[in-house]
Each structure stands twice: as structure tokens, then as C-alpha cells.
Amino acid sequence: EPEVTQTPSHQVTQMGQEVILRCVPISNHLYFYWYRQILGQKVEFLVSFYNNEISEKSEIFDDQFSVERPDGSNFTLKIRSTKLEDSAMYFCARKQGALNTGELFFGEGSRLTVL
């Protein structure tokens, strides 16, 4: 059973549409991350979320992106107006262990295709 459940597994959307990707941890954790992988490229860090606040974000995570934990359980990544280059596999992960050395447990990913 995965540590983290992600929905949807695959979403196809039109350019300019809003997309919400969801992440549900099995148990209550404090540190969450969103990463993405564009086909053929590196796994890229987007944002980390600690105790219901953004703790760090990358240059990729611009104003089009937002994260929240609306009900204290589900953890969402929203892309306001999708672009073609947002097509990627998006992974949610939780950290186990110390902040700087703990390992990540990834969800199974949400594949986003922007047409």
C-alpha cells in the first residue's frame, strides 16, 4: 500500500485551464513535497510544505502554482492556467526522518498532459 495516494493518475487538459492535483497521506505527517518530471528530463523540485506553510520553493514554482492543505488531510497542487510545458509527471512525497537527511516516500504520480 502506497504511503501517499495521488489523484488523478492521469489528466488531460486544454492549455489555459486550471488543474488541481491531489495528494493524500496514509498517516499524519508534517513535511510534504511536490516534484515533477518532464519526459526525458530530471526530477525537479517544485515546493516543500511544512506545518501547513510553504517552506521552500523553486524558480519553477511561479505565480501560476499554489499549494494548500484545505482540510488538514488532502494536500493539493493547483496550476491556474496551464501551459504546454507543464505537461509532466507530478509526484507528491512525504519526508520521513530528519529535515535535511530524511528519505522521501513518493506517491505514484499524476501524469498531466496539456494540449
102 near other proteins, judged by CB under 8 A? yes
In angstroms, give the least distance from the CB of 107 to other proteins.
Answer: 6
Read off the C-alpha cell for 98.
530528519
CA dist., res. 97 & res. 51, Å (int): 15
Contact between 107 and other proteins by CB under 8 A: the answer reads yes
Distance CA 21, CA 63 (A): 16
User: According to the binding rule CB under 8 A, does residue 16 interact with other proteins?
Assistant: no
CA end-to-end distance (rounded Å), the chain: 32
Residues 45-84 binding other proteins (CB under 8 A) are 45, 48, 50, 55-56, 58
Count of residues interacting with other proteins (CB under 8 A): 27
For residues 82 and 108, what is the distance between their CA atoms, to the nearest angstrom? 21
Shortest gap between Cβ of 112 and other proteins (angstroms)?
A: 16
